[in-house]
């Protein structure tokens, strides 16, 4: 699933969870695009071919590195309606939580705005070129992937079976789409045509925005046109720690990137020599504790006090600085998300994560535009004492966390994965394996262990384990006191990861996860386009 080469010519690398997206990125490179352009084209294509995980109605968070070595985080996570009333929601939902599906779970989709904000940080090609392949895929149709076919019939999504929106698109005539069957989405193709001709602003204040708001309000949403017009992605600095000679950077709150950084710091401070073997149980305990911190403290820093420095650097084994952490964490879906990793020999690099949250998001699909909407709002709390309590124009706690490492002035690893609450654990295991000298192909395919509610029926103390871990690792997990649960090899919910590694000599390796339908590719090309403005 990977291609590796040493390069002296201009080079671009890409890894995505679907070969159609990887192909789209390669074509953009050959047309003179940058790693930023390639990531956007791949992301747009994935909204067509991987709708169980990503859609135009979803969110995006990305790290973008420029040739001057600066890394920026583009936070395109959407906010709740300006008229949100937490008290009214509590009175309607006695469970204390928003439902998992439905219109109340829809926040402003940030993904399209995120693409344009990324493009301004290093795009070379015109906006309309970047969406060309996505429009074509929606118009002509693409073969249904194995992952999409499995999701359509998965009992986990049985609550969608029989719902008009879902059945119209994914079970036409009452029959589920099958792997290999051609899947065209003409309404979505028309939406891409409008986006290409009118620009990304159309999604928030133009033709598409008006259609979207009218549709959502007809379904009972309180989102209004101002919620779309006034939304803008935020560009911030990443958060980082030093680990084994590398600077590891990821996204700050409202995302849970701190969970990864805290764990890496713990591994350094505790002197772990075999974190994926004899010490794996201790590593899972570290993540278990960090999951509790996430559940208790993670929120939108624009509306709540979230001290990421304290979360990363507080006592690793105690909670004196933060207060007691509940042993019971709020459920977080295993994640229906896509990760994209790109890099080019100019020095641009992108780790991009885009998502609809749960599989098929809210389950609501606009028949006129073909846009499927996320259910990210369900990750809000209704508990008025929680920093993550829902509120007007507030962003929910987020599981998307793009990651990359640098060494001095050079980028080394671009890491992205799906996996919901398990994303920090997956990234940590990938990085540890690669740093141990294992090739990226082997690291990505290696068995994983994830603590927390990664599957239905799990608790916060469950460790989901794929077959093939070493005997010392299995023994360590048994000693940890956590509840070990075995899952089949290459289980999709254990993460679909995509990795680009850049060597000391500038060589690049791009690798995609065998748990996905993806591929990695390294492209050599000549560039003729001028930088986009």
Specify the length of the chain in residues: 533
Grouping H, G, I as helix, E, B as strand and the rest as coil, residue 12 is strand
Residue 172 has a CB neighbour count (10 Å cut-off) of 11
Q: Which burial class, exposed, middle or buried, applies to 385 when counting CB atoms under 10 A from its CB (0-12, 13-18, 19+)?
A: exposed
- Residue 518 near residue 54 (C-beta atoms within 8 A): no
Residue 167 has a CB neighbour count (10 Å cut-off) of 16
Distances (CA, A) of 401 to 119, 157, 220, 249, 357: 19, 25, 31, 10, 13
Is the dihedral angle over the CA atoms 284, 290, 295, 300 positive or is it negative?
negative
- Residue 133 near residue 44 (C-beta atoms within 8 A): yes
- Residue 458 near residue 411 (C-beta atoms within 8 A): no
| 402 alpha carbon, distance to own chain's centre | 7
**Residues 505, 511, 512: CA angle, nearest 5 degrees:** 165
Residue 399 has a CB neighbour count (10 Å cut-off) of 29
CA distance 161 to 363: 10
Q: Which element (helix H / strand E) includes 14? A: strand 11-16
Active site residues: 337
DSSP per-residue letters across 199-250: -TTHHHHSHHHHHHHHHHHHTT----HHHHHT---EEE--EEEEETTEEEEE
- Residue 39 near residue 25 (C-beta atoms within 8 A): yes
CA distance 124 to 146: 34
Closest CA to 77 of 311, 401, 370: 401
Tokens of 296: 């208790």
- Residue 402 near residue 479 (C-beta atoms within 8 A): no
Closest CA to 140 of 182, 100, 81: 182
CA distance 413 to 393: 34
- Residue 211 near residue 371 (C-beta atoms within 8 A): no
Q: What phi, psi does 363 have (nearest 5°)?
A: 85, 0
Tokens of 125: 């090609």
Q: Which element (helix H / strand E) includes 280? A: helix 280-297
Q: Which residue has the tokens 């006090």?
A: 305
Radius of gyration of the chain from its Cα atoms, rounded to whole angstroms: 21
């Amino acid at each position: 699933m990977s291609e590796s080469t040493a390069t002296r010519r201009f080079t671009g690398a890409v890894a995505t969870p679907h070969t159609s997206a990887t192909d789209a990125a390669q074509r953009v490179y050959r047309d003179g695009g940058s790693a930023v352009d390639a990531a956007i084209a791949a992301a747009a294509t994935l909204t067509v071919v991987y709708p169980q995980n990503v859609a135009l109605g979803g969110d995006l968070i990305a790290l973008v590195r420029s040739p001057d070595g600066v890394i920026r985080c583009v936070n395109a996570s959407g906010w709740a309606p300006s008229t949100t009333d937490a008290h009214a929601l509590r009175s309607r939902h006695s469970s204390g939580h928003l439902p998992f599906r439905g219109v109340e779970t829809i926040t402003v989709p940030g993904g399209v705005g995120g693409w344009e904000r990324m493009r301004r940080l290093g795009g070379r090609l015109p906006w309309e070129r970047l969406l060309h392949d996505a429009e074509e895929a929606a118009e002509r149709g693409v073969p249904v992937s194995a992952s999409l076919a499995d999701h359509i019939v998965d009992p986990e999504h049985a609550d969608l079976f029989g719902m008009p929106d879902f059945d119209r698109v994914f079970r036409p005539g009452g029959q589920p789409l099958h792997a290999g069957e051609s899947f065209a989405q003409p309404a979505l193709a028309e939406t891409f045509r409008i986006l290409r001709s009118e620009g990304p602003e159309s999604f928030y204040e133009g033709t598409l925005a008006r259609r979207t708001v009218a549709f959502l309000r007809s379904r009972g949403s309180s989102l209004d046109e101002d919620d779309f017009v006034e939304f803008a992605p935020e560009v911030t600095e990443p958060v980082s720690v030093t680990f084994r000679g590398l600077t590891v950077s990821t996204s700050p709150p409202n995302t849970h990137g701190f969970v990864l950084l805290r764990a890496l710091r713990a591994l350094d401070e505790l002197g772990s020599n075999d974190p994926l073997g004899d010490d794996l149980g201790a590593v899972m305990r570290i993540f278990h504790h960090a999951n509790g911190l996430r559940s208790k403290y993670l929120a939108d820093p624009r509306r709540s006090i979230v001290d990421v420095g304290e979360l990363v650097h507080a006592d690793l084994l105690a909670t004196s600085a933060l207060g007691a952490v509940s042993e019971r964490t709020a459920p977080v879906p295993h994640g229906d998300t896509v990760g994209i990793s790109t890099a080019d020999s100019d020095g641009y690099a992108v780790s991009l994560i885009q998502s609809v949250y749960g599989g098929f998001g809210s389950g609501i699909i606009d028949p006129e535009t073909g846009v499927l909407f996320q259910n990210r709002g369900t990750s809000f709390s209704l508990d008025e004492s929680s920093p993550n309590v829902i509120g007007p124009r507030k962003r929910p706690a987020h599981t998307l966390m793009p990651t990359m490492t640098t060494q001095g002035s050079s980028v080394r690893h671009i890491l992205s994965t799906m996996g919901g609450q398990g994303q920090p654990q997956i990234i940590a295991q990938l990085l540890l394996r690669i740093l141990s000298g294992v090739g990226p192909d082997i690291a990505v395919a290696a068995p994983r262990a994830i603590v927390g509610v990664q599957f239905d029926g799990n608790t916060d103390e469950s460790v989901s384990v794929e077959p093939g871990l070493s005997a010392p690792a299995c023994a360590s997990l048994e000693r940890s006191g956590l509840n070990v649960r075995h899952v089949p090899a290459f289980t999709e919910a254990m993460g679909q990861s995509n990795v680009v590694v850049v060597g000391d000599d500038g060589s690049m390796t791009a690798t995609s996860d065998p748990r996905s339908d993806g591929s990695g590719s390294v492209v050599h090309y000549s560039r003729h386009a001028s930088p986009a403005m």
